[in-house]
Structure 1
Amino acid sequence: MKCLSDYLWQTLVPLIFFSFIWMLYRFLEEQQHKEDMIRQHTEMELKFLKSQINPHVLFNNLNTIYSFSIEKPTETPELILMLSDNLKHVLYDSNAPFVSLKKELQFLDNYIKFQQIRTEGVKQIKYETYVQNAETNIAPLLLITIIENTFKHSSLHSQISIEIKEENKQLTCTCVNDFSPSKKDTTSLKIGIENLKKRLQLLYPEKHTLHFDNRHLFKVVLKIDLS
């Protein structure tokens, strides 16, 4: 019995131990594979969501340049340079997972300048930014959705207010505009907002809030923890 006991101890215990190690290794390998698949799926979905934004924004800017080339040709070169900067940001900078707030705000500044030119005499635009640390990173092309909707769905001869604030890596973007419910294009509005919600959920899960209020004015407040 003692020999049998020693034999079992010397053979079964190592066998059980190495079987456990092998099972653990296989489990970790499968978990890593699942994480890789999820990461690849997330990256593909983010690229798809960004691709829905880029052409629409650039198309509006091209329309503005075309109008100026006819009405105010002397001011067209400056607009082309602004568009060039935005193209660089969309085609190259936005391929990175994150960009500095400085780069993202330059892109938004150019976009809003285009809108100020395009809506001159039709809409009043109040645009303010306060950034404590311009090198803070943010996912590219996030804020453009609500800012673009603010212009697209505002009424004629109304005021638009856009405020972007970053303090202690807490970003708040507030957009307010008047709107005409009977003329509002709810389909495109919903598509843009759903796109934004998906990107926020993928990039900043449990680190963002997005609120809407359309009782009197259409107000959107986006808060993101960038830490």
Structure 2
Amino acid sequence: MKIRSRIRRYELYRWLIPLFLLLNILQDLVEGAGDFPLRVVNETWLAFFVSVVSYRLLEHTLPKLGWKNALYSFFILLAYVLAYSIGLLLWRYLGITLHIFTPLGKPVPVEDRLGILIGYSIGSLVFFAVVRHLYNYIQLKQHAQQLRIASQQAELNYLKSQTNPHFLFNTLNNIYSLARDKSDLAPESILRLSKMLRYMLYETSEPYIAVEKDLKIIDDYIALEKLRYDDSLRINFNHDLEDAKQSLPPLLLIPLVENAFKHGASETRENPFVDIHLTIKNRQLFFVVKNSTGEPAGEGNFSPQIGLSNLRRQLELLYSDYQLDVKKGDYVFTATLKINLASHV
């Protein structure tokens, strides 16, 4: 963690110092000062000293200071004040002695020169401190965003891990009913279940799949449910797709279908039915599942099942523009799902 933080600091100053130097050079250009090549060398010489001192102050010294060692902190900060004033003046004289720094313009008294250099130091320190603060703020926001995305992905995976076993548990119950009745349809139901298991193991690991694949698993599930009922159950499943290859999160629609059979048709004694309609046009998904119930609207209380609860939470994590409505009427239950597929988060 410390190494990563150090690398980020180096990356910051690797472009911040050249930017600081460039701004000073541009200022000389705007002011129309003469001897431009010499001024570039002078600015580079001063920028080197100020950059090193600012880096040491902002990255190494300030983080270690505190009120517990107030006296020590005071003397350390005083040392930096001297470095930014007298130290910079001595650095300038050193450059002149080494014939690196070239004095330009009229001679200025030492006290005036010191004042000019102090102003230069303060401006430089403010520049470094402000840019560093903004950089750290942006990095912190990006890190928080990455953590949020990772947390949401973990929750999505958890919801899927809940939905799949729940879905399979209900399917196994159906097969158990057939096996208990020694039905000849039990082998066919096991075969269909194996196809669904293969789909869940090898197809649903991706964040998106073609919608036609999810429709195929819905078809298999409906066929499996039909094995439990006689001809009295009426099932209508139709869809109108603008593009069957467009992407959709896997198993997003199956909870509504499962709910229609598990808590609807199976509890209806007379004229059970399930109507399913899916439309996707212009990136707008419209999914309606209507099923019979065993009681009128005024009787019983509707409590969301785990499949519907998980579906609602997945929608919150996946899309910003969606609507899931469930309505219990007289012997009829209707679930309506609308999603703007372009609103994926």
Distance in 2 (CA, whole Å) between partners of 1:20 and 1:5 is 23
RMSD of Structure 2 on Structure 1 (CA): 2.3
Q: TM-score, normalised by structure 1?
A: 0.87
CA contact (8 A) 2:327 2:335 kept: yes
Runs of 5+ consecutive residues of structure 1 not aligned to the other structure: none
> What's the CA shift string for 1:9-56, capped at 9, x where partnerless?
321112111111211221122112211211121111111111221112
CA contact (8 A) 1:170 1:226 kept: yes
AA in 2 matched with 1:199 = Q
Residue 128 of structure 2: aligned partner: 18
Residue 150 of structure 1: aligned partner: 260
AA in 2 matched with 1:170 = Q
Q: Is 2:285 the partner of 1:175?
A: no
CA contact (8 A) 2:242 2:280 kept: yes
Residue 197 of structure 1: aligned partner: 312
SS in 1 for 2:192: helix
Distance in 1 (CA, whole Å) between partners of 2:294 and 2:143 is 50
Runs of 5+ consecutive residues of structure 2 not aligned to the other structure: 1-110
> What's the CA shift string for 1:164-203, capped at 9, x where partnerless?
111122111101112124896844x343322221110111
Distance in 2 (CA, whole Å) between partners of 1:64 and 1:194 is 22
184 and 105 in structure 1: CA distance in 2 versus 1, 3 angstrom threshold: farther
Distance in 2 (CA, whole Å) between partners of 1:6 and 1:83 is 83
Of 81-90 and 156-165, more deviation after overlay is shown by 81-90
Distance in 2 (CA, whole Å) between partners of 1:19 and 1:222 is 51
Q: Which has the higher strand share?
A: 1
Q: Which protein, 1 or 2, shows the higher relative CO under an 8 Å CA cutoff with sep ≥ 6?
A: 1
Q: Which has the larger radius of gyration?
A: 2
Residue 59 of structure 1: aligned partner: 169
Residue 244 of structure 2: aligned partner: 134
Q: How does 1:11-160 map to 2 (within 5 A)?
A: 11-66=121-176, 67=178, 70-72=182-184, 76=187, 78-154=188-264, 155-157=268-270, 158-160=272-274
CA contact (8 A) 1:130 1:166 kept: yes
AA in 2 matched with 1:86 = M
AA in 1 matched with 2:246 = T
CA contact (8 A) 2:325 2:335 kept: yes
Structure 1 position 68, deviation (Å):
6.0
Of 29-38 and 178-187, more deviation after overlay is shown by 178-187
Q: Is 2:323 the partner of 1:209?
A: yes
1:163 to 265, 272, 277: 277
Distance in 1 (CA, whole Å) between partners of 2:301 and 2:201 is 28
CA contact (8 A) 1:153 1:184 kept: no
> What's the CA shift string for 1:198-221, capped at 9, x where partnerless?
11011112x211122223321111
Distance in 2 (CA, whole Å) between partners of 1:184 and 1:113 is 30
SS in 2 for 1:212: strand
Structure 1 position 111, deviation (Å):
0.8
Q: TM-score, normalised by structure 2?
A: 0.59
Distance in 1 (CA, whole Å) between partners of 2:289 and 2:149 is 32
Q: How many residues are paired up?
A: 223
Distance in 2 (CA, whole Å) between partners of 1:88 and 1:9 is 72
86 and 177 in structure 1: CA distance in 2 versus 1, 3 angstrom threshold: same
CA contact (8 A) 1:122 1:156 kept: no
Of 85-94 and 10-19, more deviation after overlay is shown by 85-94
63 and 213 in structure 1: CA distance in 2 versus 1, 3 angstrom threshold: closer
Distance in 1 (CA, whole Å) between partners of 2:255 and 2:333 is 14
AA in 2 matched with 1:222 = L
AA in 2 matched with 1:156 = R
> What's the CA shift string for 1:49-98, capped at 9, x where partnerless?
1122111222333344452693216x72x544432331122223222211
